[in-house]
Amino acid sequence: MSRIIAIDYGRKRTGIAVSDTLQMIANGLTTVPTHQLLTFILDYVSKEPVERIIVGLPKQMNNEASENMKNIEPFVHALKKKLPDMPVEYVDERFTSVMAHRTILEAGLKKKDRQNKALVDEISATIILQTYLESKRF
């Protein structure tokens, strides 16, 4: 089997997570500056077998798309243009940042590490991917 990549897209930084080849477990991969995201994904896909890409869908509590969608849609369009055979899916990302902060607290990280926004983004991407993987199992 091949991997699944998840993206927690941000204006400055983007968290990236990847599944194992059995598509059972999500692992944080890295955080990259958003302006380098497309290059990073294309490079990763050229080196690793990837089945699909999951992108966090930012929604507000009233179920409408958040303001960040105007940044995400052009990226997804460019991604689909560069990788036309790669399925790209959106997954609701509401509360992933809150869950990531909670995970960091529960892990007992020091205050300086808890303030690391890149770590929050990477964990958020991991949560998005794990949610997707679990939804496919049931």
**Tokens 């944080």, located at residue:** 28
CATH code for the domain of 25 = 3.30.420.140
pLDDT attached to residue 105: 61
Element containing residue 15 per DSSP (H, E): strand 13-19
Count structural domains, the chain. Answer: 1
pLDDT attached to residue 16: 97
Burial readout 122-135 (b: 16 or more C-beta within 10 A, e: otherwise): bbbbbbbbbbbbee
Global confidence as pTM: 0.84
Which structural domain, as residue segments, surrounds residue 71?
3-137
Beta strand 13-19 with 3-8: parallel, antiparallel or unpaired? antiparallel
Beta strand 88-92 with 50-57: parallel, antiparallel or unpaired? parallel
pLDDT attached to residue 40: 98
pLDDT attached to residue 99: 63
Nearest Cα neighbor of 20 from 36, 37, 6 is 6
Please give the average pLDDT of every successive group of 10 residues along the chain, which has 138 residues. Answer: 94 95 94 97 97 87 72 95 96 67 62 65 88 84
pLDDT attached to residue 67: 73
* Residue 40 DSSP code: H
Q: Which residues are bridge partners to 7 per DSSP? A: 16, 55
